[in-house]
Structure 1
Amino acid sequence: MTTDAYFAELTDALRAAGVPEEQIARTTDELRGHLAETGTSPEEEFGPAEGFAARLGGLAPAPGEPDGAAERWTWTADLFNDRRMLDVHGAQGWEVEGLDPLGRFVCRRAPGVALAWEYRREVITGRRRARVLDELTPEGWELCGEWLVYGYFKRPRAATAGPAGAVEAPQAAPHRWLFLSRRGKAALAVWFALVGGAVTACFMGVLGTGGLATAVALISMFSALLTSHLESAKGRVEQSRRSGS
């Protein structure tokens, strides 16, 4: 079977399963791109078209009921832990639709056989934004949310893993919504201690104008140190990636 015939059969099967046309087009484009990189045939990489379509049938709910059957879940993590938790939850079929004003990941998961997702985080400030988008878009990455100086990107794992990109038995949605690392918990504890101490002292009249200014300065200094530490950690990670590539 030729590649065009394979994708024609795959498209027909996905359409019959109720997957929206836009989702079908995006998925087949990503799969074609994957084949172009690997140089393999679609049957060798993904298996028979009909069976592969059945595994991808959970790409999206049927038209007319976009939200009725889909699971919804919102969660958050600190910057030390967000990428690890995105990997964990993406493997369970949770697709990030965006970030809310509080910086929480708003996710959905289609019923039935869900599709696993992979994520990455990049700094996208200034001129770097266009360069990052130009580099990642051809590889199937889609910007799915922004927070501070960071952009979060997603793509279905089927684009790189083939049939292994489907989640046949997804776990139930977690009851938790907050995932903090040890460093995140420590930073948060120090922050609350500083703010709480300053507010308490202010209300008790212990601090005068100069004392309150000192407390504010300490809080600002801690914020600057925390930001510097985050950027330093990010730099070490990026340097490690470049060294390993």
Structure 2
Amino acid sequence: MTTVDAYFTELSDALRAAGVPDEQIAATTEDLRAHLAETGTDPVREFGAAAAFAARLGGLAPAPGEPDERAESWTWTADLFNDRRMLAVHGDQGWEVESLDSIGRFVCRRSTTAPLRWEYRREILTGRRPKVLAELEPEGWEPCGEWLVYGYFKRPRAATAGPAGALEARPATPRRQLFLGRTGKLVLALWAVVVGGATAAFFVGTLGTAGLAITIAFASMVSGLVTAQLETAKGTEREAGE
């Protein structure tokens, strides 16, 4: 048995003794082995002693997707200009995105016993889904939601950062649920001006109910298309430059 095999045997035994399901142990050790194979480092030097590392990983933390009555819940949203920055901020505070709801909000949870830091990325999926999944899944990324042409992916930071992926203290749950970037605020302000003008025209009698409804729908459609187009163009430029 090699040194690496001995390390992961000890790590698996420690996690199993802490009550971690075998399926979760297998997934965790697979991610960690892949990290070591990529970096070529020694497991003890990279992660520390196996028993201590198992404790820091959070032996009683639920596997992603499994229910946890003690977990905190929080739902929030951001515009497409600000979502990746806020995902990085909230992921570093231990919030795991479980899904996106029907109106594009991030539905999150955070373990109260052994929270982990999470990292996220956003990819354009239109016409690229099989390629994106084939590239990201071997690196430990898993889908956590889709919105418009975008797919969101997550992975626990412990898979790449070792002990630094554990969260020792949980910041308070944010009171805000909406996070807009500067461009998003500008788009929203323009939408408000158009809709406000149409509403005023409706009340003074120069615009009928049908006209008001059409104006609001058109303004919403245009703002959504502009937002998606700008961010899709940025994503395409980044991909071309890689």
Tell me the SS of whatever aligns to 1:114: coil
Superposed displacement of residue 238, structure 1: 4.9
Q: Which amino acid aligns with 1:227?
A: L
Q: Which amino acid aligns with 1:149?
A: V
Superposed displacement of residue 20, structure 1: 3.0
Cα distance between partner residues in 1 of 2:53 and 2:217: 55
The answer to whether the Cα contact below 8 Å between 1:194 and 1:219 also exists between their aligned partners in 2 is no
Q: 1:92-241 maps to which residues of 2 (within 5 A)?
A: 92-125=93-126, 127-207=127-207, 212=211, 216=214, 220=218, 223-224=221-222, 227-228=225-226, 230-236=228-234, 238-240=236-238
Name the stretch that deviates more: 222-231 or 135-144.
Answer: 222-231
Residues 128-156 of structure 1, C-alpha deviation per residue, up to 9 Å, x if partnerless?
11111111111111000011111000011
Residues 167-226 of structure 1, C-alpha deviation per residue, up to 9 Å, x if partnerless?
1112121111111112212211221221232244235420369x939x947963774465
Aligned residues with identical type, % of pairs: 63
Unaligned ranges ≥5, structure 1? none
Superposed displacement of residue 19, structure 1: 2.5
Unaligned ranges ≥5, structure 2? none
The answer to whether the Cα contact below 8 Å between 2:124 and 2:232 also exists between their aligned partners in 1 is no
Superposed displacement of residue 71, structure 1: 1.1
Residues 26-52 of structure 1, C-alpha deviation per residue, up to 9 Å, x if partnerless?
211111111111111211211111011
Q: What TM-score, normalized by structure 1, do the two folds share?
A: 0.86
Tell me the SS of whatever aligns to 1:60: coil
Superposition RMSD on alpha carbons, in Å? 2.7
Cα distance between partner residues in 2 of 1:202 and 1:195: 10
The answer to whether the Cα contact below 8 Å between 2:61 and 2:113 also exists between their aligned partners in 1 is no
The answer to whether the Cα contact below 8 Å between 1:19 and 1:57 also exists between their aligned partners in 2 is no
The answer to whether the Cα contact below 8 Å between 2:19 and 2:59 also exists between their aligned partners in 1 is no
Cα distance between partner residues in 2 of 1:187 and 1:97: 28
